[in-house]
Amino acid sequence: MIYTTQIIMALLGSLGFSILFNIRGKKLWYAAIGGMLSWVIYLFLHLWLNNEMSRFFISSLIVTIYSEAIARIEKTPTTTFLTSAVVPLIPGRSLYYTMSYAINGMLDKFVSSGIQTVGLSASIAAGIMAGSSVFRVFMVMQRKLKR
């Protein structure tokens, strides 16, 4: 039940950001479904991977490939879909605790939580870069095979 709620909230959160970013028509739903997909993958990977950074990396990698593919189909920039799709992955809880520890003067917890937050953010960025690279290599290979 709790996973269903999380998945629905990921869809609605991404939908809200898609509306905020002025995405219209069926592109709006592609972007929202991308956000839901990113969270479903993250939850699914929780069954096998204990490392949260690995889950963030793989989830962002897969959702980047999804965004790249939909962008080609819709003839739209990839960021149209990718920006909304990674919204559920933003490490808000970790960032909140990092700032809370900083404000309350808990330096040791601030540093460890800050390192965790930066690591999660870097995992998302690395997943996006890797996913984009994998997709571009695939496209080049596909073009060469057609010749």
DSSP string, 84-116: HHTGGGS-HHHHHHHHHHHHTT-HHHHHHHHHH
Q: What is the per-residue pLDDT for 130?
A: 97
Question: Exposed/middle/buried for 75, CB within 10 Å: 0-12, 13-18, 19+?
Answer: exposed
Query: Number of folded domains in the chain?
Result: 1
Q: pLDDT of the chain along its 147 residues, tens only?
A: 788 999 999 999 999 999 999 999 999 999 999 999 999 999 999 999 999 999 999 999 999 999 999 999 999 999 999 999 999 999 999 999 999 999 999 999 999 999 999 999 999 999 999 999 999 999 999 988 887
Q: Which domain holds residue 7?
A: 2-146
pLDDT at residue 1, as a whole number: 77
Q: Distance between CA 85 and CA 131 in Å, rounded?
A: 13
pLDDT confidence of residue 2? 81
Copy the structure tokens of residue 61: 């990698």
Say whether 4 sits in a helix, a strand or coil. Answer: helix
